[in-house]
Chains A and B, each alone.
Chain A
Amino acid sequence: MAGARRASRRRYVLLVIVLTCLTLITLDTRSGRTGPLGSVGRLAHRVMNPIEGAVDDVTRPIGDWWSGLVDSGNLKRDNRRLEQENAALRGKQTSAEEAIKENEELKKLLQLHSLLEIDSVNGLIVGRDPGNFDPTLTIDKGSESGISVDMPVIAPEGIVGKVIEVWNGGSKIQVLTDPQFSVGVQTPGHGVLAPATTGVASGQVGSHDLAVVFDAGTKVRVGDAIVTSPQSTLFPPGLPVGTISSVTVQPGATGVDATITPYVHLGALQYVTVLLWPDGHTGPVLRTTTTTTSTSSTSTTSTLPGSSTSTSTPTSSTG
């Protein structure tokens, strides 16, 4: 009798838990992270952020050792490849600097808004990919720094992703390899007969490359440098995305399938830059934002790499 009652209670507990979970899944799927569940999640992130940061400081060397242990075969090969790339890049640097100067002059002449005028916030990555199915990064800067949802995130190598969740003291970034992520991209063009073409690149399930479909007849080659397109509402135009790694003409020549290998190596990132560039904004964001570096109490009002950075103590901000 007692055994039957206990079994009945067990089933009742399971039923309550299953119904609760199904309700949570339904609520979260329908209302997204804007509802009350989102608030609970942001609160959890706020509590966890300092712990993640502290653990990151301790475990990063261990994690590096661990990845070196389980991935040592690739390290030597990567090192040789990087040394070769480094030598090639040193050669290109000089000409790039000249091109940047020329570009600046031309932009002034045309009165175009430069990317360098967009205010930005540098954030330290304190958490990454907590699960197996959602490639995300968590940084230590949030709403207090002026960051909001959908702002683009970049690294010196190229685009990283976009902000999908913000709380006071941190933000979550959806990386560009996420299947839910998409960005407008543009080919470099090869002369008058093969002009630059735009398309929308998206992350793929189980791959570190982006997939993009260009219009039929698009001339694109393996190795072409891909940048964000002027039609992109999410990212300012001209930001480096990656290089074309494969090109396949669709059957019947209805389009051109291509894959893009991103420039940015997500696993090696330690800092990222959030552009204070709201979704759909067509001009520079004239806002000054205060950020605090993780290693000192000094506040820095920063712009993109390559532009000047002013430092002030104590913190200051203007509207």
Chain B
Amino acid sequence: MNRLVRVAALAVIIVIVQVAVFPHLRLFGVVPDLGLLLALVVGYQEGPELGAIAGFLAGFGYDLFLETPIGLNALTYAVVGYTIGVLESGLFRSPRWLPSFLGLVGGLAGGLFFIGIGVLAGVDAVKGTHGVETIALAAVYDALLAPFVFFLVRRVLGTTDRVRDSWSMR
């Protein structure tokens, strides 16, 4: 329960930073998906269940400020958090570049999932090459920020550095 409260607090902080700060810090004209990063980091560190919950909370909070349908980011982030949590158990080793790699791949996969559901929900803005370009650029931004989100989650949840542990075991 304690972890759930901490994850919820993290989700609130992430949404505030995403909505209030990152619109001023665009890279290539796009903002990163901090909620998605939170979901995949929590999913990686804590497992699929908490990853999905973290994704849902951060995505729902973010959705409240967007014109895309409420629930779209919540669904995307939750699925990404869950999937990373499931895949993590099959990882043999976790190199140091893993956070950035997860940020890139998670950003791309989550973005494409977002576009797919968005098209089904009738969101015109995500259609076409512009949507895919935006997702790709946002995924690069996610990759750059992923190590910081890993650090933040580890500090708040008090979990061990799985990346470093597995590195030192090699």
Contact = CB atoms under 8 A, between A and B. Distances in A.
B partners with A: yes
A19 B56 CA distance: 12
A24 B74 contact: yes
Contacts of B67: 131, 133-134, 136, 164, 174
Contacts, number: 151
Nearest to A12: B49
A18 B66 CA distance: 19
A59 interface: yes
Nearest to A70: B27
B122 interface: yes
A287 interface: no
A48 B26 contact: no
B31 A132 contact: yes
A37 B25 CA distance: 29
B25 A66 contact: yes
B18 A130 contact: yes
A59 B19 CA distance: 12
Contacts of B59: 21
Interface residues of B, number: 56
B125 A128 contact: no
Contact of A55 (B21, B75, B82, B126): B21
A205 B79 CA distance: 27
B116 interface: no
B105 interface: no
A25 B27 contact: no
Interface in B140-165: none
Contacts of A136: 67
Given A9-B49, A51-B16, A134-B67, A67 B26 contact: yes
Contacts of B65: 41, 44-45, 48, 127, 130-131
Nearest to A204: B130
Interface in B6-30: 16, 18-21, 23-28, 30
Contacts of A37: 70
Interface string A1-43: 0000000011001100110111111011100000001001100
B70 A179 contact: no
A132 B20 contact: no
B49 A24 contact: no
Contacts of B122: 29
Interface string A40-68: 11001100100110011001101100110
21 contacts: A10-B82, A14-B78, A14-B79, A18-B75, A20-B56, A20-B71, A22-B75, A25-B72, A29-B121, A29-B122, A48-B16, A48-B20, A52-B20, A59-B25, A130-B65, A131-B31, A131-B62, A132-B135, A133-B134, A164-B67, A205-B125
Interface of A: 9-10, 13-14, 17-18, 20-25, 27-29, 37, 40-41, 44-45, 48, 51-52, 55-56, 59-60, 62-63, 66-67, 70, 127-134, 136, 164, 174, 178-180, 205-206
